[in-house]
Structure 1
Amino acid sequence: MASPVWHPFTQHAVEPPMPTIARARGAWLETDDNRRILDAISSWWVITHGHRHKPITDAIHAEIDKLDQVIFAGLTHEPAERLAEQLIDMAPAGLAHVFFSDSGSTSVEVALKMALGYWRNIGEPRTRIAALKHGYHGDTIGTMSAGARGVFNAAYEPLLFDVVRIPFPHAGREQATLDALDSACREAPLAAFIAEPLIAGAGGMLIYGAETLAGMKRVCERHGALFIADEVMTGWGRTGTLFACEQASVTPDILCVAKGLTGGLLPLAATLATAPIFEAHYSDDRSRTLFHSSSFTANPVCCAAALANVDVWQSEPVLERIAKLADLQAGALATLAADARFENPRQLGTIAAVDLKVADGGYLASVGPALRAHFLAKGVLLRPLGNTIYVMPPYCTTAADLRLVYDAIRSAPDALA
């Protein structure tokens, strides 16, 4: 009998039978028939320290014996209060308030609503949003609007609002990006500009420099546009620093975090904002409220997991592990650089990517599902973006683990020939 489950980003008409994952530990998954699979994409970019990292699982067990769930409108609780304080201390200086939600998409949706509410509440209603081309910010209506248009959202086009598209700052074309953003701001005031700092993830693991990130922030400042940094994927060390914005010495007006916020063990997200944005909503006029909520906003167990993750960052050598993994990735990626079957090897922190040379590239490249099946047969979980193969493993991944991953990548072209 077919499963009644409808899986995300899955075309069930062509999908082969799925393995059932029964257990996980560190960088490894284990199926119900005891087959081990290396999680080389951190289970969709969320697992940072490794599956079931003990300090975090211990915190989850302890909190659930005290408080499971409570409405967060009109009530508060200690894990959320402590976590908000910790996030403000760790984030780029100048962010002052934390709004909790439950996924990366909703953290960005909240950011867009904060930006529009800010301008409306200060009596200068700006409604134009600008975003980098190739961006991906989620699958809710606002985040799809801000993200790249294409097969992902073509069916939902009637629901989406117009966004100003700023060309991606490909190498050698950075100034064109800055000029286009400046021109968009001069054409009519922007409410906000949103970007994934330093790397566009689902857009193909496209990388740009910190100087360009800082330049985009300066353009926004010059024209009074709010700058939204979508660090849902880039936060919590993926790019080599806790937040990617650190590398450009940038403090965004609004910062979105999720995925690694709990170490990846439980769903939780947060949208951090500067004091002026909060104060624009702070009023005895109740119509100026930020009208957004999730039923499980700031779930205490999720907040406890995030607090444990913060403690891991403060008490364990996480940045050293990240640097070591980045070095291992660089060495492994170099073995593909001279292979004529691949092109455009690139790396940022612990993230590495390379493109397989094929006739039909792009997300719907026919080679994508075949690659995924090949990797799984080799005991490696990789989920290529079409012909773009990327490796984004947990920070506990070893040199031996990576050899398994890159051996599988090198064997792929011959296996698919």
Structure 2
Amino acid sequence: MSQSDTLFDYKHIWHPYSSMINPIPCYSVVSAKGVYLKLTNKKNIIDGMSSWWSAIHGYNHPVLNRALKKQIKKMSHVMFGGITHPPAIALCRQLIELTPKKLDCVFLSDSGSVAIEVAIKMLIQYWQSLGQKRKQFLTIRNGYHGDTFAAMSISDPDNSIHQIYNNLLPNNLFADAPVSSFHKKWQKSDLISFKKIIEENSLKIAGVILEPIVQGVGGMNFYHPAYLKKIKKLCDNYSIPIIFDEIATGFGRTGRLFAFEHAGVIPDILCLGKAITGGTITLAATLTSRHIADTISISQAGCFMHGPTYMANPLACAVANANIKILKTNKWKIQVSNIEKQLSKNLLPLIHYPYVVDVRVLGAIGVVECSHLANVFLMQKFFVENGVWIRPFKKLIYIVPPYTISVAQLNKLTNVITQAVNNRSLFI
């Protein structure tokens, strides 16, 4: 990238969660292949983030590329209102086949946040159809569900990146987050807060929404499957639908195809995104039951009131179909299992380092929680200079590598993390 391009980017382009006055410098990527990102200076760095959880098979995968090329010769996009097309039909068939039998109605949208908005609107309209004006949602603290308004309203109001919008957002209900971790003993006390809120507000709650097992940006916490099972039972007791946000965890990331499988429960609405296209094009899906879909359809409106311009984009649907066909070979199970073993071996010993307070591993997710905030600018610079791409967040250094990563490449990632947590100058 030329000096003029670098300066233009710095002055005019707003990057995620970035200041326009004093932005953190960006690294220019000119191409990507396998697990490597190639920078302008021709340096190759290993991507430990899978482009925010999405590029599960790495970059420039031949099967995914072929699907895109084949589809673009036919049409890149067509409106979905009053029109349908084979890629969308094939994708919805596959999604229904992959998910529990109960989830047999699919709404395709164009991003994870929108999939959450769709789920929320579905339940508001569902209750309207039943003659009830339920608008509040119940969730747990430390959650994150996206950056659009309804999604922000169900993300942690005090400990999240959306705190500055609190006065503008709908007033939802937040129970204490569970403290029983995935690999430790289940504590019944985890349920007290949630049980109290649902009992006192059962006639006001439109739905419950959770990130199953893994809470993402809110803290990268892995909670006990028993908690999810108990929550589902409470929801059933009070006939309150439950939404599972699997946008980050879906398609194998936790070692199961979907994280809710760890608890053996089934949601009433399921939101999918990120890895659905293997990290190629944005796409998301919201799946629900026939009962909820039919109830919405007999509402005063007579239909579900939502319709993104690029929903069911044929290119995205075509590559999502190819991605799911790769997953159906089940190689991901072995890949993720091997990654989990290697992350456990390499990262768990870091608990003994002075700036580390906890280390967590589940499937192809590794988290090192530190006692001090990361200096994002210095730490990213350190990572890039050492040949890896890892984006720290607050006190967390975490990796979600592509499933296709090799033993040597993963060792490189964990070795550089080890060096980072041993370097006080990289923290605030």
Taking structure 1 as the reference length, the TM-score comes to: 0.94
More deviation, 17-26/266-275: 17-26
Counting only pairs closer than 5 Å after superposition, residues 4-403 of structure 1 correspond to structure 2 as: 4-150=12-158, 152-171=161-180, 174-188=187-201, 189=203, 190-283=205-298, 287-315=301-329, 317-358=331-372, 365=373, 367-403=375-411
Distance in 2, matches of 1:84 and 1:201, equals 26
Q: Deviations over 1:358-411 (max 9, x none)?
A: 2xxxxxx35343322221221211111212111110001111112211221121
Aligned residue-pair number: 410
Kept in 2: contact 1:101–1:107 (CA 8 A): yes
Match for 2:199: what amino acid? R
Distance 1:185 1:293 in 2: 32
Q: Is contact 1:367-1:387 (8 Å) kept?
A: no
Amino acid at match of 1:149: P
**Is 189-198 or 252-261 further displaced after alignment?**
189-198
Aligned-partner Cα distance in 2 for 1:219–1:177: 13
TM-score scaled by structure 2?
0.92
How far has the Cα of 1:290 moved from its partner? Answer: 1.4
Letter of the structure 1 residue corresponding to residue 71 of structure 2: E
The CA deviation string for residues 196-245 of structure 1, in whole angstroms up to 9 with x for no partner, is 00011101211101111111111111111110000000101111011001
Deviation of residue 173 (structure 1)? 7.8
Alpha carbons 2:24, 2:377 under 8 Å: kept: no
Identity rate, percent: 33
Moved more, 131-140 or 119-128: 119-128
Of residues 8, 12, 21 in structure 2, which corresponds to 1:2? Answer: 8
CA contact (8 A) 1:181 1:219 kept: no
User: Alpha carbons of 1:6 and 1:35: their partners in 2 closer, same or farther (altered >3 Å)?
Assistant: same
CA contact (8 A) 2:365 2:399 kept: yes
Structure 2: which 5+ residue stretches go unaligned? 1-6
- Determine if contact 1:135/1:195 at 8 Å carries over to the other structure: yes
- Matched residue SS, 2:327: helix
Q: Deviations over 1:21-60 (max 9, x none)?
A: 0110111100122111110011111111111221111101
- Is the CA contact 2:25–2:377 (under 8 Å) kept in the aligned structure 1? no
Cα 1:155/1:336, change in 2 over 3 Å: closer
Q: Which runs of 5+ in 1 are unaligned?
A: 359-364
User: Distance in 1 between the 2:391 and 2:306 partners?
Assistant: 33
Amino acid at match of 1:275: R
Residue deviations 1:158-208, cap 9 Å, x none? 430011001111127853442322222221222101110001110121110
Aligned partners of 1:62, 1:38: CA distance in 2, in Å?
29
**Are the counterparts in 2 of residues 121 and 288 from structure 1 also a CA contact under 8 Å?**
no
| Rounded Cα–Cα distance in structure 1 between residues aligned with 2:421 and 2:319 | 41
The offset of 1:92, in angstroms, is 2.3
Amino acid at match of 1:209: H
Instruction: Give the letter for the 1:70 counterpart.
Output: V
The answer to whether the 8 Å contact 2:343/2:414 transfers is: no
Give distance in 1, aligned partners of 2:25 and 2:220.
28
> Structure 1 264/174 Cα, relative in aligned 2: closer, same or farther at 3 Å?
farther
